[in-house]
């Protein structure tokens, strides 16, 4: 089931490139993702379409780079919603992003446990 949420070939390539720094990459993604989620929620609460679009776009890129295609796709949907300034459509997608983020976060934490610094 984790194959749906994480592209293990992407993680494997990152592990090969990053070598001993791979755990640092995982930690950085975790911290960055928590900040991106906060930015998304804040932008929506303030009805700031531009900030919401930028936060979703940024999160989409990092999710894609980390091999989280479902999460990246949801961020793309939110980015499009914000671009069209259709904030009424945003809550459902934000909820999906939050749920998928929790799944991805847990899977990456499992990856992280496999490494010791």
Residue 66's SS3 state is coil
| Residues 76/80/83/86 CA torsion (nearest 10 deg) | -130
Domain membership flag for residue 117: no
Residues of the chain with pLDDT under 70: 1-3, 116-117
CATH code (residue 17): 1.20.120.160
Report angle CA 73, 74, 80 to the nearest 5 degrees. 90
- For residue 37, being part of any structural domain is answered with yes
Q: How high is the pLDDT of residue 1? A: 46
- State the residue range of the domain holding 17: 2-111
The whole-number pLDDT of residue 82 equals 98
Which of 110, 78, 111 is closest to 97 using CA atoms?
Answer: 78
Q: Is residue 17 part of a domain?
A: yes
Cα 84 from chain centre? 21
14 token code pair: 């990152």
The pLDDT tens digits of the residues spanning 51-69 come to 999 999 999 999 999 999 9
Could you give the number of structural domains in the chain?
1
For residues 109 and 58, what is the distance between their CA atoms, to the nearest angstrom?
Answer: 21
Q: Is-contact 115 22, C-beta < 8 A? A: yes
Q: Is residue 116 part of a domain?
A: no
* pLDDT score at 3: 65
């Amino acid at each position: 089931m984790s194959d749906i949420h994480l592209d293990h070939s992407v993680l494997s390539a990152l592990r090969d490139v990053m070598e001993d720094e791979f755990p640092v990459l995982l930690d950085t993604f975790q911290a960055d993702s928590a900040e991106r989620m906060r930015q998304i929620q804040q932008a929506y609460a303030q009805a700031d379409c531009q900030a919401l679009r930028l936060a979703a776009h940024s999160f989409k890129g990092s999710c894609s780079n980390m091999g989280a295609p479902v999460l990246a796709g949801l961020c793309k949907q939110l980015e499009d919603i914000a671009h069209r300034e259709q904030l009424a459509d945003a809550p459902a997608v934000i909820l999906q992003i939050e749920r998928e983020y929790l799944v991805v976060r847990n899977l990456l934490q499992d990856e992280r446990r496999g490494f010791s610094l």
